[in-house]
Amino acid sequence: MLTHAIRLSAVLLLAACATEAAYTQNVRSWVGKSQSNLIYVWGQPTKVEDSDGTRTVIYETSRTSEDYARVTAKPGAHLDGPLRCTTKFFLEQGVVTRFAFEGNDCKVK
Protein backbone atom coordinates (compact mmCIF):
# COMPACT_ATOMS: atom_id res chain seq x y z
CA MET A 1 0.00 0.00 0.00
CA LEU A 2 2.84 2.39 0.82
CA THR A 3 4.44 1.67 -2.56
CA HIS A 4 1.17 2.59 -4.28
CA ALA A 5 1.02 5.89 -2.36
CA ILE A 6 4.61 6.71 -3.31
CA ARG A 7 3.91 5.95 -6.98
CA LEU A 8 0.76 8.08 -6.93
CA SER A 9 2.66 10.96 -5.31
CA ALA A 10 5.37 10.73 -7.96
CA VAL A 11 2.83 10.75 -10.77
CA LEU A 12 1.04 13.78 -9.32
CA LEU A 13 4.34 15.61 -8.84
CA LEU A 14 5.38 14.90 -12.43
CA ALA A 15 1.99 16.06 -13.71
CA ALA A 16 2.31 19.30 -11.75
CA CYS A 17 5.82 19.86 -13.12
CA ALA A 18 4.63 19.16 -16.66
CA THR A 19 1.78 21.63 -16.24
CA GLU A 20 4.11 24.32 -14.89
CA ALA A 21 6.59 23.59 -17.68
CA ALA A 22 3.85 24.06 -20.28
CA TYR A 23 2.84 27.36 -18.66
CA THR A 24 6.46 28.51 -18.61
CA GLN A 25 6.78 27.65 -22.30
CA ASN A 26 3.55 29.50 -23.11
CA VAL A 27 4.55 32.63 -21.20
CA ARG A 28 8.12 32.53 -22.53
CA SER A 29 6.75 32.56 -26.09
CA TRP A 30 5.66 36.18 -25.48
CA VAL A 31 9.24 37.46 -25.13
CA GLY A 32 9.87 39.68 -28.17
CA LYS A 33 6.16 40.28 -28.82
CA SER A 34 4.45 43.69 -28.64
CA GLN A 35 2.27 44.96 -25.81
CA SER A 36 -0.65 45.40 -28.19
CA ASN A 37 -0.39 41.78 -29.33
CA LEU A 38 -0.15 40.59 -25.70
CA ILE A 39 -3.29 42.50 -24.69
CA TYR A 40 -5.15 41.41 -27.81
CA VAL A 41 -4.63 37.75 -26.86
CA TRP A 42 -4.56 37.88 -23.03
CA GLY A 43 -7.16 40.63 -22.64
CA GLN A 44 -7.03 43.68 -20.43
CA PRO A 45 -4.48 43.25 -17.63
CA THR A 46 -5.39 43.44 -13.97
CA LYS A 47 -2.97 46.33 -13.64
CA VAL A 48 -0.08 48.09 -15.33
CA GLU A 49 2.90 49.61 -13.55
CA ASP A 50 5.58 51.91 -15.02
CA SER A 51 8.98 52.36 -13.41
CA ASP A 52 12.37 53.46 -14.77
CA GLY A 53 11.54 52.81 -18.43
CA THR A 54 10.04 49.38 -17.77
CA ARG A 55 6.33 48.70 -18.01
CA THR A 56 4.96 45.75 -16.05
CA VAL A 57 1.72 44.25 -17.36
CA ILE A 58 0.13 42.11 -14.65
CA TYR A 59 -2.54 39.43 -14.94
CA GLU A 60 -4.04 37.96 -11.76
CA THR A 61 -6.49 35.08 -11.55
CA SER A 62 -8.18 33.45 -8.60
CA ARG A 63 -10.63 30.56 -8.33
CA THR A 64 -12.52 29.13 -5.38
CA SER A 65 -13.25 25.53 -4.43
CA GLU A 66 -16.65 25.87 -6.08
CA ASP A 67 -15.03 27.00 -9.34
CA TYR A 68 -12.59 24.08 -9.12
CA ALA A 69 -15.43 21.59 -8.55
CA ARG A 70 -17.33 22.99 -11.53
CA VAL A 71 -14.33 22.94 -13.88
CA THR A 72 -13.13 19.47 -12.86
CA ALA A 73 -16.68 18.05 -12.73
CA LYS A 74 -15.98 16.82 -9.20
CA PRO A 75 -18.97 17.95 -7.12
CA GLY A 76 -17.99 18.63 -3.54
CA ALA A 77 -14.29 18.97 -4.37
CA HIS A 78 -12.60 21.13 -1.78
CA LEU A 79 -9.34 23.04 -1.70
CA ASP A 80 -7.46 24.43 1.28
CA GLY A 81 -7.59 27.91 -0.24
CA PRO A 82 -8.20 29.72 -3.48
CA LEU A 83 -6.30 28.84 -6.62
CA ARG A 84 -4.26 31.85 -7.71
CA CYS A 85 -1.84 32.85 -10.42
CA THR A 86 -0.07 36.17 -10.95
CA THR A 87 1.74 36.56 -14.26
CA LYS A 88 3.91 39.60 -14.98
CA PHE A 89 5.25 40.64 -18.36
CA PHE A 90 8.05 43.21 -18.33
CA LEU A 91 8.22 45.45 -21.39
CA GLU A 92 10.77 47.89 -22.70
CA GLN A 93 9.88 50.16 -25.61
CA GLY A 94 6.57 48.31 -26.01
CA VAL A 95 8.12 44.84 -26.33
CA VAL A 96 8.07 41.97 -23.80
CA THR A 97 11.62 41.39 -22.57
CA ARG A 98 11.02 39.01 -19.67
CA PHE A 99 8.33 37.51 -17.47
CA ALA A 100 7.62 36.07 -14.03
CA PHE A 101 4.76 34.16 -12.49
CA GLU A 102 3.79 32.72 -9.13
CA GLY A 103 0.89 30.88 -7.63
CA ASN A 104 -0.71 27.46 -7.34
CA ASP A 105 -2.84 27.75 -10.49
CA CYS A 106 -0.36 28.84 -13.17
CA LYS A 107 -1.13 26.42 -15.97
CA VAL A 108 -2.19 26.44 -19.58
CA LYS A 109 -5.96 26.49 -19.76
pTM, rounded to two decimals: 0.72
Nearest CA to 26 out of 14, 38, 11 is that of 38
Please state which CATH class domain 2-103 belongs to. Answer: alpha beta
More confident residue, 61 or 6: 61
Q: For 38-85, what is each residue's pLDDT tens digit?
A: 999 999 999 999 999 999 999 999 877 565 555 554 555 555 678 899
Q: What is the pLDDT of residue 11?
A: 37
CA distances from 39 to 30, 48, 53, 55, 66 (A): 11, 11, 19, 13, 28
Nearest CA to 83 out of 68, 71, 94, 97 is that of 68
Domain ranges of the chain: 2-103
Q: What is the pLDDT of residue 86?
A: 97
